[in-house]
Structure 1
Amino acid sequence: MDWATVSTEDLIDALKEVDWSSPPRPINEFFNKFTFPRSSNKWNSRLKCNLYYYRTNYFLMILFILGLGFLRRPLAIVAAVSTALTIAFLNDSFAGTFSEKLTRFVRQFSPHLAAKMRPPPMPVLRGRPSSKRAIYICGRPRWQFVIMSSAVSLFLWFVSCGLLTLLWALAVGLLDLLIAWFFKAELPIDPAVAVAE
């Protein structure tokens, strides 16, 4: 395939459609041949080709480097999970589902507490529910829950000193990724194999 003719938009569309759960390419193939490209067109072509064919290898490499960075600061893992939950609470369906499942879980142990975790009744205007429906998580407005969760996340990042670790791990991972993208020689792909993928 002539990767020089593939536009960036086409590559992004192909990466959206391709199966990201495919197994990584063999290690010996991944680290086999590194050369310096002769022209900017060759660099561009090589970047697109390597990103498409080694996407799983690059993803695993970034996860491995982040994992190594977080081994130094295990509390940073809790901070990262807390941050991810804070961001997820901004999604209406996730917030509603989380609140409902947590309320059901609490009901098994304390029905009285679970009743307090229910959202308040929605106001009814002229026989219809209000169109501006507020989202509640555990009986509290979502914005209170997000602010509280953000504060916990910031505190955990501060206490674990993990933000600097995260930034260094991302920088090292992206540097490794860029080196592999630019200097890894393109595969001489057989068209039949490329179509099968």
Structure 2
Amino acid sequence: MKIILTCGDKINIPEGCKAEIKDGVITIEKKPKFKDGDIFFNNGIIGIYRNGGGDRIFYHCTLMDERLFLGENRPSYFGWDKDARLATVEEKQLLFDKLTEQGLCWNAEEKKVEKIRWRAAPGETYFTINLYVGYAVQNFVDYNEEYDNAFYNSFNYFKNEEDARKAAELVKATLRKFHEDYGSNK
């Protein structure tokens, strides 16, 4: 289709599209639509999309030239390439491997990059705080049972006895402070 324009004419770009002008030719292309948490490939960059705006990609993290960048550590956007798309399984694995190498993981539920927490291998010992016996520290062997998972998921799960004792003191101080400041005896 050939449209003849004169000086001062304006063209409305359809919603969800972008216009590119090259050599005096206007090309209208559909912008890729990503949702928060989608893993994308854009001009050699693999990343996890974060809701942004306009013609820029905002990201939680990206893998560029074998280097991992977190969105909060640098400008977290760059321009869309016309071939931007969802990442392949292999591309996703490259990104996840790099995250793991850096001691990080993608929490898809909370939509954030976070540090990997230590967990004992099956048959190894871990420590917990027992609130029933005056903040005593106990050790357990992790068999990936329901109670092991409950301790881990509630963050009452420690690699060594010293960390568990420090945490027990913090818990005790926090509960004491709560009762001093907000307790029902006030």
Class of the TM-score when normalised by the shorter of the 2 chains? under 0.3
Which of the two has higher C-alpha Rg? 2
Q: Between Structure 1 and Structure 2, which shows a larger proportion of helix residues?
A: 1
Q: Between Structure 1 and Structure 2, which shows a larger proportion of strand residues?
A: 2
Higher RCO (CA 8 Å, separation ≥ 6 residues): 1
TM-score (norm 1): 0.21
TM-score (norm 2): 0.22
